Amino acid sequence: MTHSRQKPSARVGRRPSTSKEELASVGIELFVEFGFDETSIDDIAEAAGIARRTFFRYFPSKNELAWGNFDEHLAGMRASLEAIPEEVSLSEALTTALHEFNTFPDGENERHRARMRLILHTPALQGYSSLMYRGWRRVVAEFVARRIGAEPDDHIPRTCGHLLLGVALAAYESWLDEPDSDLHEFLAAGMRTLTAGLDYSDPKSLSALPEKAGPR
């Protein structure tokens, strides 16, 4: 059932949405204002100034809408990894790719926060999110497999995919908890811990680690 409530003021008088990211922006705004479960595809189409059938040209469901043009971002991450010279260490290559993937324009800071808050905290999205995480981990695993002469489904490449995703998710959780924080500082700290191993965060073990591996 379509809401009778007023559409988001940011959309009033604007032309119909003509891209996946524009349509996702409208949907996220509605999800934040009214709730994910309470917002229908009809609500999103109306607020975006498009027909319901047009919505499905961009997204098969409102679950995917929260992720925006994720496939394009994954393709960009894959291309970025492939372009990294072989002499760059595996940890440095993955750190660079992680930062690049999670870099967005300053003007989109609040919208990105809203999107990640929805993705991480909306129960109805968790099942779909697991599919998206799988695709993200696959990109990492494929790169690691090429570097070490293994297959993407082998244990080490698969483990690296899960580890890197864990760093990203933990960084986002901390970033959402601290409004004035820097996402990339959390990503960097997480990757330092991952690169040096678990002993990096254990005060009892720091004396046994090289000086460069200690907290910065």
pLDDT in tens, 127-174: 899 999 999 999 999 999 999 999 999 999 999 999 999 999 999 999
pLDDT in tens, 47-69: 999 999 999 999 999 999 989 88
| Mean confidence (pLDDT) of the chain | 86
204: pLDDT strictly greater than 70: no
- Residue 208: which pLDDT band, with cuts at 50, 70 and 90? very low
Per-residue b/e over 25-44, b at no fewer than 16 CB within 10 Å?
A: bbbbbbbbeeebeebbbebb
- φ and ψ at 215, to 5 degrees? -60, 140
- DSSP state letter for 179: T
Closest CA relative to residue 42, chosen from 51, 32, 34: 51
Within 13 Å and on the Cβ side, how many CA atoms surround 21?
A: 9
> What's the average model confidence in pLDDT over 4-10?
45
pLDDT of residue 197: 80
16: pLDDT strictly greater than 70: no
Within 13 Å and on the Cβ side, how many CA atoms surround 203?
A: 0
Closest CA relative to residue 116, chosen from 168, 166, 71, 77: 168
pTM (two decimals): 0.82
**Residue 132: alpha-carbon gap to chain centroid:** 9
78: pLDDT strictly greater than 90: yes
pLDDT of residue 19: 85
Of the given ranges (89-103, 173-187, 193-207), which has the lowest mean pLDDT? 193-207
